[in-house]
Structure 1
Amino acid sequence: MRRRTLSALCALGALGALGGVLAAPTAAQAADPHPSGPSVRTDETRIYVDFGTSTLPKDLKVLLREPGTETPVATITEFDFVEDPDPCMPSCQDDSGETAVETTPLRLADLGRYAVDIEYDGTEGESILHKDEAVFDYHLIPQVKTFEVSGKPDVEHRTVTVKADATLRDPRDGAETPMADGRLVLETTAAKTGLTTDAAGHVERSFTFTGTEQHDTTTYQNDVRLVLRPAGEDAAHGLTRQVEVGYTTTDITLDSPTVRGADGTDAPLSGRATYRDSNGVSKPVPVGTPMSVYNVRTFKAGEDGRFTTQVPVYGTRQQKIALHGTPWLSTRYALVSPDPTTSAGFHRLPTVTVSRYEKVTVSSVFDRYDLPASTTLTVNLQFKAQGATTWVTKKTIDSPAIAGDSSRTVTAADLPYQGVGVWRFQFPGTEQIPAGPAPESYTVYRRMTAFPEFNANPEPVKAGAPLTITGKLNTKNEDDGQWSALADARIDICFRAKGTTTWRVAGVAVTGKDGRFTKTLKATKDGDWQAKYDGDEWNHFYSNSRLDFVDVQLPPRGSSGQPAGGEATWRGGPAVSMRHSASRG
């Protein structure tokens, strides 16, 4: 990373960069070692040059000239590297080290604005000149030299006395003179005030805080910060003082503890914020005191501490009105209770479950308020796919409602899985009953699974001989669509004898880190083999492999071995019926 002092180099180096390379190489092999030129910036006394490399060009010079002229009034040839404040940013390997150089504080004959040119040797010793790389403004430097604040204010007595002296430093010789009739700016986190010095560069006057200034977080006291600086200059030319202020308790009085409005709308609320003075008398907080409907919207107290805001009607959920603490005032809360007018909506996030068999169940509580009579309300169950902006209605449900207030759980079960996305119940509203909120669920999904490989070997096989079942189980990442091995998954090895419809579990295998599994069984009958994965509790769907038919060759009757039509022998324990027979993957 380049030095902190040069962090704005590229942006500021463009000031006055109206020219280009004046000298061109005369020989074919000669060239500018830095054809894009340097980055140049200036401050009040120095010029900074950065070529982006710690190797500087030969015979580097900074030339200063008056605009409109060609003859330099100063040539600087001595430079210091600017220290890198953080040599491991962006990293210890990628940091380019010291790349910028700076001049010493310049002592020119005359104040004024000077064009900055950069000159150095080309690859063959030819002169390379980059003109108008910056403008050097050489002027008297204003500085606040002293700054005092008298008084310990509180919210009732917010006026203090400020005293200050400001000077002008001449960069040519370092001499300081009073900044007569100079313009200063006194600022806090709440306001700015202009001040003017007298002929001696002195100012002394009263200053009144607004009473809404924020804490100075750099101290552990109940302080506010005052900055006094010359107008047009940054805080580095000024001085900063912390002022400890008094603290008092507050109250919020609502004009009404309740608000009325349709569910899902905003209702107006008004009230008054006050503080208690040293005698316990309530007085209005200062204009502009920060307040909020907690976690919803902010507003400020007005004249006489009065405020008006909008409060969400979200069912009967209470809302909190907050007066945010400042150094002057304590934090205070007041609760307001919404009372919904005729309306209906949902306030709780829908509960969504996705089964391992690709079925979705959605449930939520439907709240109805001030209905004039018993009725039936139609609710839409909607889905929005990940990355989409449009809700798609998947089902409509009728929900009976009694007169007045009531709540009823609405549930939709055994819906087909729609992919990654969110669900919601939505009451669209009617002419007589406005619609309330329709919050969406968290994003729900399960991972698909599939058997890219499955085989039963050998084929055909003699009765009683070993039959080896192999395969692989993969799972799909829903974020990038990539398939990968699914490890530690239980696989049921299932068999269906030829001419029957019943599947039986012949054995069980477990996938390894590569998703592969192997199971050896004894072949006894012709039939289909299939691997089945039943999914898990939360993450993965079930899947079935392809069918693999195996022809089992029985020995002739009377010979040794299993007779034709004999029962199969299972190593996987007692046979059980399978829940699913659909093939997948």
Structure 2
Amino acid sequence: MLCTLGALGGVLAVPAAAQAADPYPSGPSVRTSETAIFLDFGTTKLPKDLKVLLRKTGTDTPVATITKFDVLQDEDICMPSCQDDPGETGIRTSALGLADLGRYAVDVEYDGTGGETILHKDEAVFDYHLIPQVKRFEVSGEPDLENRTVTVTADATLRDPRDDSETPMANGRLVLETTAAKTELTTDAAGHVETSYTFTGTEKHDTSTYQNDVAVVLRPAGAAAAHGLTRQVEVYQASTTITLDSPTVRGADGTDVPLSGRATYRDRNGVSKPVPVGTPMSVYEVRSFKTGDDGRFTTEVPVYGTQRQTIALHGTPWVPTTYAYVTPDPTTSAGFHRQPDVTVSRYKKISVSAVFDRYDIPAPTTLKVNLQFKALGSKTWVTKKTINSPAAKGDSSRTVTAADLPYPGAGVWRFQFPGTKQIPAGPAPESYMVSRSMTAFPEFNASPEPVKKGASLKITGKLEEKNDFSGKWQKFADARVDLYFRAKGKTTWKKAGTAVTDKNGKFTKTLKATKDGDWQARYAGDNYLHFYGQSRLDFVDVK
């Protein structure tokens, strides 16, 4: 790596027509670090006679010219895609050793397509300054929730990039950082700091180790973590307990109701104390919340029938994961808690069933339930059928079923109890996406017509399927097609043969002509993906 330093004795002249012949009219992407400059032209092909020129900010005369660069390895060889990625595009200078500290304007110069000089000025600013760094960092103490204070000692220096010499960072600003808080510290005249630090008690685990510890980072203020040091501090983990104010909650089915309680831990002497303010908790897989003063918490839990809800205190280095359970007791209400069971026959018929749960019904009654459908891409529920469901007094469950409904296309289904003044409505979960593809025979022919008795009869056709999501018809390959014949004057169809569609959905079958009659191709459908389909009738006259 070579670099030429010194005054160039003037400003480079750029021909007026240079931009017209600039192979990179937008210039390179340029960024700087504390000691080097990075360029990216978006391609592996670099311009000829490439130079980086540095000027003191506010002046026109370059004080340094860099002509040698290192190629940087492409960090992601499949961006934007493995086919379109331009490859290794980044280059960088060496660590620069300039004569003076300060801010420098970065210009980029190279040859145009006609050999003329192209100059892109002020592509970046290179800030050449003393580099702060933490050289020593220690944390002393064995913290727990009862005593979260430790002692921090550290030394920081300033490195001069001109000669790599170091001096103490006198009265420098440092930042001590954990996953829970940031605290600013100040060094003394010798670049030294020694002070106490108190953890919040809500720090997260350091996942880089297998111990029960937290990571503590000390870095110069305004500098990246790479200029600092990280230490792992092992902490004592206390046992915890969640105490609910009530183990049950009351509310209408499908609503959220308040829940409160207190989270505590036991110290090393077995004394129960509140967990720290801000300890993370949740109604498991529903909502998150945090503890407040004295370990107290208030949240809401869903009443979803009598399904038990889990209250979790999430583990940290200070406390283990702990659970408590609350049992909902629904007031007068009715709803559905399980996903509807939907079947689609190959003959375009829908059947839907679900369990209807009723709670605290004051007297025997009949509840009206709507079977609703929401088409793919729509936000509107359409009622397809209303069903009367008898309900006994108190709590009861009953399966509601609707059968043999016409298939309306791709979409989701649900049973919905709309509620009454006396009986509020509960949940109405929707089904999974229900879809099957239509099938059709756009082509079908039996030839020749007429045909001699005993001669060969060639039956051809084409089978297509309709994509239920795009609405487009497309060829249906590798499908079994059954061929049927009905003699003239008869009502009974007989299977005469089978063909399989090729990659274009087409099929051919040769049979013997014996009688006058109708021919038809049929696709029987399958268990899950395709509906039944049949072709037109083709009458063949046999002589």
Output the CA distance in 1 between the equivalents of 2:337 and 2:360: 16
1:78 equivalent in alignment to 2:67: yes
1:188 equivalent in alignment to 2:206: no
In 1, are the aligned partners of 2:19 and 2:118 still within 8 Å (CA)?
no
Output the CA distance in 1 between the equivalents of 2:435 and 2:233: 56
In 1, are the aligned partners of 2:265 and 2:319 still within 8 Å (CA)?
yes
Output the CA distance in 2 between the equivalents of 1:22 and 1:365: 83
Q: What SS class does the counterpart of residue 236 from structure 1 fall into?
A: helix
Q: Which residue of 2 aligns with 1:331?
A: 321
Q: Deviations over 1:293-342 (max 9, x none)?
A: 11111111111111111101111111111111111111111111111111
Runs of 5+ consecutive residues of structure 1 not aligned to the other structure: 1-20, 554-585
Give 1:507 shift. 1.8
Q: What SS class does the counterpart of residue 304 from structure 1 fall into?
A: helix
In 2, are the aligned partners of 1:356 and 1:540 still within 8 Å (CA)?
yes
Which residues in structure 2 correspond to 1:26-425 (within 5 Å)? Answer: 26=16, 31-72=21-62, 74-84=63-73, 86=75, 88-90=77-79, 96-425=86-415
Q: Which residue of 1 aligns with 2:425?
A: 435
Output the CA distance in 2 between the equivalents of 1:396 and 1:384: 16
Output the CA distance in 2 between the equivalents of 1:99 and 1:295: 45
Q: Which residue of 2 aligns with 1:504?
A: 493
Q: Which residue of 2 aligns with 1:483?
A: 474
**Which has the greater radius of gyration?**
1
1:493 to 469, 476, 484: 484
Output the CA distance in 2 between the equivalents of 1:462 and 1:96: 68
Give 1:55 shift. 4.2
Output the CA distance in 2 between the equivalents of 1:55 and 1:534: 60
Q: Deviations over 1:217-242 (max 9, x none)?
A: 11121121000011111101100011
The answer to which structure has the higher strand fraction is 2
Q: Which amino acid aligns with 2:486?
A: F
| Counterparts in 2 of 1:221 and 1:167: CA distance versus 1, 3 Å | same
Give 1:92 shift. 7.6
In 2, are the aligned partners of 1:111 and 1:139 still within 8 Å (CA)?
yes
In 1, are the aligned partners of 2:465 and 2:475 still within 8 Å (CA)?
yes
Runs of 5+ consecutive residues of structure 2 not aligned to the other structure: 1-10
Give 1:23 shift. 5.6
Q: Which residue of 2 aligns with 1:546?
A: 536
Q: Deviations over 1:259-310 (max 9, x none)?
A: 1111111011011111122232222111111111111111111111111111
In 1, are the aligned partners of 2:410 and 2:469 still within 8 Å (CA)?
no
Q: Which amino acid aligns with 2:500?
A: T
In 2, are the aligned partners of 1:507 and 1:519 still within 8 Å (CA)?
no
Q: Which amino acid aligns with 1:240?
A: T
| Counterparts in 2 of 1:251 and 1:30: CA distance versus 1, 3 Å | closer
| Counterparts in 2 of 1:62 and 1:437: CA distance versus 1, 3 Å | same
Q: Deviations over 1:450-469 (max 9, x none)?
A: 12222223322344555443
Output the CA distance in 1 between the equivalents of 2:502 and 2:288: 54
Output the CA distance in 2 between the equivalents of 1:138 and 1:329: 46
1:520 to 475, 488, 511: 511
Q: Deviations over 1:177-226 (max 9, x none)?
A: 21121111111111111111111111111111111111111112112100
Q: Which residue of 1 aligns with 2:4?
A: none
In 2, are the aligned partners of 1:490 and 1:510 still within 8 Å (CA)?
yes
Q: What SS class does the counterpart of residue 226 from structure 2 fall into?
A: helix
Output the CA distance in 2 between the equivalents of 1:507 and 1:22: 90
The answer to which of 381-390 and 473-482 deviates more is 473-482
Output the CA distance in 2 between the equivalents of 1:519 and 1:93: 47
Q: Deviations over 1:366-413 (max 9, x none)?
A: 111112222221111111111111111111112121222111111111
Give 1:527 shift. 2.9
In 1, are the aligned partners of 2:18 and 2:112 still within 8 Å (CA)?
no
In 2, are the aligned partners of 1:263 and 1:437 still within 8 Å (CA)?
yes
In 2, are the aligned partners of 1:51 and 1:100 still within 8 Å (CA)?
yes
In 2, are the aligned partners of 1:30 and 1:123 still within 8 Å (CA)?
no
1:535 to 525, 530, 534: 525
Q: Which residue of 2 aligns with 1:583?
A: none
In 2, are the aligned partners of 1:222 and 1:245 still within 8 Å (CA)?
yes
Output the CA distance in 2 between the equivalents of 1:87 and 1:330: 39
| Counterparts in 2 of 1:455 and 1:482: CA distance versus 1, 3 Å | closer
Output the CA distance in 2 between the equivalents of 1:92 and 1:317: 49
Q: What SS class does the counterpart of residue 246 from structure 1 fall into?
A: coil
Aligned alpha-carbon RMSD (Å): 2.4
In 2, are the aligned partners of 1:119 and 1:129 still within 8 Å (CA)?
yes
Q: What SS class does the counterpart of residue 552 from structure 1 fall into?
A: coil
In 2, are the aligned partners of 1:359 and 1:417 still within 8 Å (CA)?
yes
The answer to which of 470-479 and 442-451 deviates more is 470-479
Output the CA distance in 1 between the equivalents of 2:159 and 2:454: 106
In 2, are the aligned partners of 1:22 and 1:131 still within 8 Å (CA)?
no
Give 1:30 shift. 7.6
Give 1:93 shift. 6.9
Give 1:61 shift. 2.9
Q: Which amino acid aligns with 2:111?
A: D
TM-score, scaled to structure 2: 0.91
Output the CA distance in 2 between the equivalents of 1:471 and 1:27: 67
| Counterparts in 2 of 1:39 and 1:86: CA distance versus 1, 3 Å | closer
Output the CA distance in 1 between the equivalents of 2:76 and 2:245: 60
The answer to which of 447-456 and 24-33 deviates more is 24-33
Output the CA distance in 2 between the equivalents of 1:29 and 1:165: 52
Equivalent pairs, count: 529
Output the CA distance in 2 between the equivalents of 1:95 and 1:492: 53
The answer to which of 224-233 and 113-122 deviates more is 113-122
Give 1:101 shift. 3.1
| Counterparts in 2 of 1:30 and 1:473: CA distance versus 1, 3 Å | closer
Q: Which amino acid aligns with 2:363?
A: A
Q: What SS class does the counterpart of residue 21 from structure 2 fall into?
A: coil
Output the CA distance in 2 between the equivalents of 1:107 and 1:50: 22
